Amino acid sequence: MFNTTAWNRLRYSLYAPVYDGVAERVFRRARQRSLEAVDFTPGCRVLLVGAGTGLDLPLLPREMEVHATDLSPAMVRRLARRADRLTRDVQCHVMDAEALDYPPAHFDVVVMHLILAVMPNPERGLAEAHRVLRNGGQLCVMDKFQPDDRPAAWPRRALNALTSAIATDITRQARPLLENAGFVIEHDRPVLAGSLFRALLARKHIALERD
């Protein structure tokens, strides 16, 4: 199976030099529309998971504490350079999205753009996002998803064997993934290529204390 952490680290290290040329223009508006739904507040702590070369950074308000991670060291080097060019104080780290090295309830917002469809185990990645978010914290997701009301048909599943090896999984469903991870979805809208790419805003369920 090609969709493994080691393979993703290798292929995104290879993609890093050309990633901006492909992704910046294509996804800029989709990223912007996704982030517009987030209720950013001054001083809030934000985590960009799978941040790549940092294409989300120019779209974020400045008065926040920003952390950014990616599996690929080559991507993180470019991410750090972009943060410097933008004069943004960003904590950049090489880190696996499925094993985040942060304490529980550490962040107010977690952003996951174009990562749920590429990680080997998105359920584990969402569990980690849920763990590091405070109660009531926001999860901002933008990615390509199969419609929620039906599973992928066999031709799509067959094609997925190729696409998941070189680029992305095309069979994953957004709402089941987020809801099973304990998130309450507040916004869900298409942002690119018809309804193929969707932006979702969800919150970590606020746990009620027992008497």
pLDDT-derived band at 210, boundaries 50, 70, 90: very low
Residue bearing the bigger pLDDT, 169 or 180: 180
199 Cβ contact partners less than 8 Å away, ≥ 6 residues apart = 30, 33, 34, 37, 140, 141, 142, 187, 188, 189, 190, 191
3 state DSSP class of 129: helix
Lowest mean pLDDT among 93-102, 150-159, 199-208: 150-159
What pLDDT is attached to residue 161?
A: 67
Q: How far apart are the first and last CA of the chain?
A: 49
In tens, the pLDDT along 189-204 reads: 999 999 999 999 999 9
Edge-to-edge strand order for the sheet containing 45-49?
Answer: 90-94, 65-70, 45-49, 107-113, 133-144, 197-204, 183-192
Buried/exposed code over 122-144 (b: 16+ C-beta within 10 A; e: otherwise): beebbebbbbbbbeebbbbbbbb
Written as one string, the DSSP assignment of 67-79 is EEEES-HHHHHHH
pLDDT-derived band at 169, boundaries 50, 70, 90: confident
Pair 39, 124: CB distance under 8 Å: no
What domains sit in the chain, N to C, each tagged with a CATH number? Answer: 5-204 (3.40.50.150)
In tens, the pLDDT along 28-70 reads: 999 999 999 999 999 999 999 999 999 999 999 999 999 999 9
By DSSP bridging, strand 45-49 and strand 107-113 are parallel
**What does DSSP assign to residue 210?**
P
Helices then strands, each counted (H, E), the chain = 5, 7
By DSSP bridging, strand 107-113 and strand 183-192 are unpaired
Whether the predicted pLDDT of 101 surpasses 90? yes
- pTM exceeding the 0.85 threshold for the entire prediction: yes
pLDDT-derived band at 96, boundaries 50, 70, 90: very high
Of all residues in the chain, the percent with pLDDT exceeding 70 is 89
What pLDDT is attached to residue 211?
A: 39
What pLDDT is attached to residue 3?
A: 60
Pair 61, 39: CB distance under 8 Å: no
